[in-house]
Amino acid sequence: MSIGRSKSVAGASASHAPASGENGSPQPQTVTLLAGATRRRRNSGLLCELQSMCKRTLRATSQTIVFPFYSKTGTTPTRAQPKPDVVPALKPAPRRMRPPAAPGRKHQRNVDAVVPPAMATSPRAEIRFPLTTADTQRYLRAQWRQVETGGRFDQAAVDRLTTTLTARLLATSAATGNGVHEDSGEKACARAIMVCDALAQATGGDPARAHDALLALLDTTSHADARVRADVLALQTALGMTAIGLDTLLAIAPHVLPQRGLAEGSAAPEIQREALRHALRAADHLLRRKPADAPGPTSLETLAALADPVLPAVERGRPGSSAAASTAPPGKAPAWLADPGNALAIKALHAANALRADPAAQCPPHLAQAYLAWRNGFDREGPGTDLPKAQQRLFKLFTYAERAARTGTAARAAAGFFGTQKSPLSALQNFGTAGVMLGHPDDEFARFTAALAPVKTQLADRLKAASTSRALKTRCAVRLAAIEQWERRMASKGLRSTFRFSSRDLETVAARARPLLSNRVALHADGSPADLALDPHRNRDAIRAEVKPLRGMTPAQLRTWADEAWRLSGQAVPEPIRANIDLVESRLAGDIRPKPGDTNAQLDAIGALVKQMPDIYDIRVSSGGTVGLGGVPSQSLAALSSHLGVPHVSVLPDGGYLQGRHAVIDIGSNQHFGHLFIGTESRKSLYGGLGGYAGWSFGQDGMANVGVSGGLRRSRDWGGPRGVTIRTRRSDDEQPGRPDAWRTTMLEVLHAARSAGPNSDAPRNAREMWGSLARRFWNDPACSINWTDSRSTTSATSGSASATARVGTADTKWGPALGATLRHVARAAHRQWDKTGNHAIDVSTHNSGRATAVAATLVEALPGIPVPNGSGHLAALSFPTQPYVGIGTTLFATQTNAALRIGRDSGRIIPKHTFRDTEFGTFKAFKQFVDTHRSEWLTALGGTDEARRRLDEMVATVKARATAGNLIMGERMQMTDEAARRLDFLFHRKQRFDRIPAPTPVQARERASIDADIRQMLASENSWRRQALYVLEALGVQRTVGLSFLLNAQSTQAVSGVRELAGLSPE
Report DSSP letters for 197-255, one per residue: HHHHHHHTT-HHHHHHHHHHHHSSS--S-HHHHHHHHHHHHHHTTSHHHHHHHHHH-GG
Q: What is the pLDDT of residue 409?
A: 61
Within-domain flag for 217: yes
For residues 765 and 874, the model is more confident at: 765
Residue 238: pLDDT above 50?
Answer: yes
| Whole-angstrom distance, CA of residue 1005 vs CA of residue 194 | 18
Contact 623, 424 (CB under 8 A): yes
Same domain, 458 and 582: yes
Which range, 47-51, 508-512, 957-961, is most confident?
508-512
Q: What is the mean pLDDT of residues 903-924?
A: 94
Compute the mean pLDDT over every residue in the chain, rounded to the nearest whole number: 83
The boundaries of the domain holding residue 527 are: 28-39+439-589
Least confident window among 30-44, 61-75, 561-575? 30-44
Residue 992: left if φ>0, alpha if ψ -120 to 50, beta else—which one?
alpha
Last residue of a domain, one of 256, 272, 293: 256
Same domain, 35 and 162: no
| Whole-angstrom distance, CA of residue 363 vs CA of residue 320 | 6
pLDDT tens-digit series, residues 675-711: 999 999 999 999 999 988 888 877 766 678 888 889 9
Helix axes 977-994, 183-203, angle to 10 degrees: 10
Least confident window among 101-105, 163-167, 926-930? 101-105
| Whole-angstrom distance, CA of residue 451 vs CA of residue 80 | 14
Within-domain flag for 513: yes
| Whole-angstrom distance, CA of residue 1052 vs CA of residue 1039 | 6
Find all residues with CB under 8 Å of 237, minimum gap 6, and list them: 202, 280, 283, 284, 287
| Whole-angstrom distance, CA of residue 426 vs CA of residue 465 | 54
Q: What is the mean pLDDT of residues 72-77?
A: 89
Find all residues with CB under 8 Å of 579, minimum gap 6, and list them: none
For residues 118 and 492, the model is more confident at: 492
Residue 102: pLDDT above 70?
Answer: no
pLDDT tens-digit series, residues 829-885: 999 999 999 999 999 999 999 999 999 998 877 666 665 655 544 455 556 667 788
| Whole-angstrom distance, CA of residue 1013 vs CA of residue 26 | 77
Q: How confident is the model at residue 938 (pLDDT cuts 50, 70, 90)?
A: very high
Same domain, 32 and 131: no
Last residue of a domain, one of 229, 256, 283: 256
Q: What is the pLDDT of residue 73?
A: 92
Fill in the amino acid letter for 338.
Answer: A
Q: How confident is the model at residue 20 (pLDDT cuts 50, 70, 90)?
A: very low
Q: How confident is the model at residue 536 (pLDDT cuts 50, 70, 90)?
A: low
Q: What is the pLDDT of residue 692?
A: 86
Q: How confident is the model at residue 494 (pLDDT cuts 50, 70, 90)?
A: confident
Same domain, 568 and 466: yes
Q: What is the pLDDT of residue 421?
A: 82
Q: What is the pLDDT of residue 533?
A: 46
Task: Give the phi and the psi of residue 686 in degrees, each rounded to 5.
Answer: -130, 130
DSSP state of 91: -
Q: How confident is the model at residue 344 (pLDDT cuts 50, 70, 90)?
A: very high
Least confident window among 30-39, 83-92, 304-313, 695-704? 30-39
Within-domain flag for 744: no
Beta strands 648-669 and 882-905 are unpaired
For residues 194 and 328, the model is more confident at: 194
* Nearest to 210, CA basis, from 146, 157, 138: 157
Within-domain flag for 183: yes
Same domain, 35 and 128: no
Q: What is the pLDDT of residue 39?
A: 40
pLDDT tens-digit series, residues 890-899: 898 899 999 9
Contact 651, 635 (CB under 8 A): yes
Q: What is the pLDDT of residue 407?
A: 66
| Whole-angstrom distance, CA of residue 87 vs CA of residue 952 | 9
DSSP string of 965-1029, one letter each residue? TTEEEEEEEEE-HHHHHHHHHHHHHHHHHHT-SS--HHHHHHHHHHHHHHHHHHH-GGGEEEEEE
Within-domain flag for 796: no
Which range, 106-110, 124-128, 604-608, is most confident?
604-608
| Whole-angstrom distance, CA of residue 218 vs CA of residue 195 | 12
For residues 702 and 551, the model is more confident at: 551
| Whole-angstrom distance, CA of residue 642 vs CA of residue 296 | 89
Residue 335: pLDDT above 80?
Answer: yes
Helices (H), 97-206: 101-114, 133-142, 155-169, 183-203
Which range, 767-776, 884-893, 1007-1016, is most confident?
767-776
Residue 978: left if φ>0, alpha if ψ -120 to 50, beta else—which one?
alpha
Q: How confident is the model at residue 652 (pLDDT cuts 50, 70, 90)?
A: confident
Distances (CA, A) of 946 to 23, 927, 942, 949: 46, 19, 8, 5
Q: What is the pLDDT of residue 127?
A: 63
* Nearest to 385, CA basis, from 920, 832, 787: 787
Least confident window among 125-139, 578-592, 867-881? 867-881
Q: What is the mean pLDDT of residues 258-267?
A: 72
DSSP string of 1041-1065, one letter each residue? EEEEESEEEEEEEEEEEEEEEEEE-
Last residue of a domain, one of 201, 234, 256: 256
The pTM (predicted TM-score) of the whole model is 0.87
Same domain, 132 and 225: yes
Q: What is the pLDDT of residue 5?
A: 38
Q: What is the pLDDT of residue 22?
A: 36
Rounded percentage of the chain residues whose pLDDT exceeds 70: 81
| Whole-angstrom distance, CA of residue 463 vs CA of residue 179 | 78
| Whole-angstrom distance, CA of residue 905 vs CA of residue 903 | 7
Within-domain flag for 479: yes
Fill in the amino acid letter for 999.
Answer: P
Q: What is the mean pLDDT of residues 610-628?
A: 92
Least confident window among 61-75, 529-543, 595-609, 619-633? 529-543
Q: What is the pLDDT of residue 414?
A: 62
Contact 35, 16 (CB under 8 A): yes
Same domain, 32 and 151: no
pLDDT tens-digit series, residues 146-158: 766 666 777 888 8
Residue 522: pLDDT above 50?
Answer: no
Helix axes 555-567, 575-589, angle to 10 degrees: 170
* Nearest to 317, CA basis, from 271, 352, 350: 350
Q: What is the mean pLDDT of residues 214-242?
A: 92
Least confident window among 45-49, 217-221, 799-803, 870-874? 870-874
| Whole-angstrom distance, CA of residue 648 vs CA of residue 455 | 71
Q: What is the pLDDT of residue 839?
A: 96
Residue 650: pLDDT above 70?
Answer: yes
| Domains contained in the chain, number | 2
Q: What is the pLDDT of residue 955?
A: 92
Task: Give the phi and the psi of residue 593 in degrees, each rounded to 5.
Answer: -145, 90
Q: What is the pLDDT of residue 11?
A: 31
Distances (CA, A) of 716 to 385, 662, 825, 844, 1012: 31, 19, 10, 19, 31
Q: What is the pLDDT of residue 824?
A: 95
Q: What is the pLDDT of residue 834?
A: 95
Q: What is the 3-state secondary structure (H, E, C) of 726-794?
A: EEECCCCCCECCECCHHHHHHHHHHHHHHCCCHHHCCCCCHHHHHHHHHHHHCCCCCEEEEEEEEEEEE
3-state secondary structure of 13: coil
| Whole-angstrom distance, CA of residue 80 vs CA of residue 113 | 39
Q: What is the mean pLDDT of residues 992-997?
A: 86
| Whole-angstrom distance, CA of residue 203 vs CA of residue 188 | 22
pLDDT tens-digit series, residues 348-403: 999 999 999 999 999 999 999 999 999 999 999 999 899 999 999 999 999 999 99
Residue 247: pLDDT above 70?
Answer: yes
Q: What is the pLDDT of residue 411?
A: 61
For residues 689 and 292, the model is more confident at: 689
3-state secondary structure of 300: helix
Q: What is the pLDDT of residue 517?
A: 84
| Whole-angstrom distance, CA of residue 499 vs CA of residue 894 | 34
| Whole-angstrom distance, CA of residue 257 vs CA of residue 249 | 10
Residue 1053: pLDDT above 60?
Answer: yes
Contact 900, 114 (CB under 8 A): yes
Q: What is the pLDDT of residue 46?
A: 60
| Whole-angstrom distance, CA of residue 349 vs CA of residue 365 | 14
Residue 947: pLDDT above 90?
Answer: yes
The CA radius of gyration of the chain, in Å to the nearest whole number, is: 36
Residue 9: pLDDT above 50?
Answer: no
Which range, 502-511, 631-640, 690-699, is most confident?
502-511
Within-domain flag for 203: yes
Q: How confident is the model at residue 826 (pLDDT cuts 50, 70, 90)?
A: very high
Q: What is the pLDDT of residue 322?
A: 42
Within-domain flag for 113: no
Q: What is the pLDDT of residue 867?
A: 57
3-state secondary structure of 426: helix
First to last CA, the chain: 19
Q: Provide the residue count of the chain.
A: 1067
| Whole-angstrom distance, CA of residue 113 vs CA of residue 101 | 19
For residues 903 and 152, the model is more confident at: 903
3-state helix, strand, coil in the chain (%, to 5): 40, 25, 30
Sign (positive/negative) of CA torsion 194, 200, 202, 203? Answer: positive
For residues 425 and 292, the model is more confident at: 425
Find all residues with CB under 8 Å of 567, minimum gap 6, and list them: none
Contact 1042, 660 (CB under 8 A): no
DSSP string of 854-901, one letter each residue? EEEEEEEEPPPEEPTT--TTEEEEE---EEEEEEEEEEEEEEEEEEEE
Distances (CA, A) of 353 to 610, 838, 851: 35, 19, 59
